[in-house]
């Protein structure tokens, strides 16, 4: 934290204290944390919820959405969901057939809709203590924050791609390969 300005450090301390206080009120748990269904485990339900939100996910991305789940455990989870008729695996035929993506079936989408209703109910309870304009202002600020996080992530990816690019210009590569 040595690179942060005094103003940012004060705001970080305030945010930390707010998060601690929110946790004390029991409001910090993820709305996905304890989804309930008579047949499916909470982690399986979270996977369905993410697939509903993003339609089609590579297995590695799904693992990250589920908190960095190890691939063997994710494979077993997807196996159970596939056997239950909730998801199907798809292999890329154009690129690398080893790339596997997961998609909801119609039955899986129905269960995911039920889970989304639970998530929305929990989120509604979190926002309910605020009045209309205050609640709207909070959501507006959170949207700005998420946009800024997205821009920061895109810039980091572009920087990584620039670092991975060869130092030689494309014309120099063609000249070298022709020689």
- CA dihedral 162→166→171→172, nearest 10 degrees, is 150
> Going by C-beta distance under 8 Å and a sequence separation of 6 or more, which residues neighbour residue 87?
47, 48, 51, 78, 81, 102, 103, 104, 105, 108
Q: What is the pLDDT of residue 179?
A: 46
Q: What is the pLDDT of residue 173?
A: 47
Q: What is the pLDDT of residue 175?
A: 47
Q: Does the model's pTM come out above 0.85? A: no
pLDDT digits (tens, 9 = 90+) for 100-158: 999 999 999 999 999 999 999 999 999 999 999 999 999 999 999 999 999 999 999 89
- Residue 22 — very low, low, confident or very high, per pLDDT cuts 50/70/90? confident
């Amino acid at each position: 934290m040595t690179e942060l300005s005094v103003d940012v450090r004060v705001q970080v301390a305030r945010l930390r204290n707010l998060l601690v206080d929110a946790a004390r009120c029991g409001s910090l748990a993820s709305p996905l944390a304890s989804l309930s269904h008579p047949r499916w485990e909470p982690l399986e339900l979270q996977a369905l919820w993410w697939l509903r939100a993003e339609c089609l996910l590579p297995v590695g991305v799904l693992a990250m959405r589920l908190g960095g789940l190890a691939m063997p455990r994710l494979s077993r989870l997807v196996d159970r969901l596939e056997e239950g008729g909730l998801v199907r695996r798809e292999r890329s035929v154009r690129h690398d057939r080893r790339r596997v993506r997961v998609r909801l079936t119609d039955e899986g989408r129905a269960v995911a809709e039920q889970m989304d209703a639970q998530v929305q109910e929990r989120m509604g309870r979190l926002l309910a203590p605020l009045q209309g304009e205050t609640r709207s202002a909070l959501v507006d600020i959170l949207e700005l924050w998420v946009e800024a996080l997205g821009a920061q992530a895109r810039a980091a990816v572009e920087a990584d791609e620039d670092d991975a690019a060869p130092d030689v210009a494309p014309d120099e590569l063609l000249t070298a390969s022709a020689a």
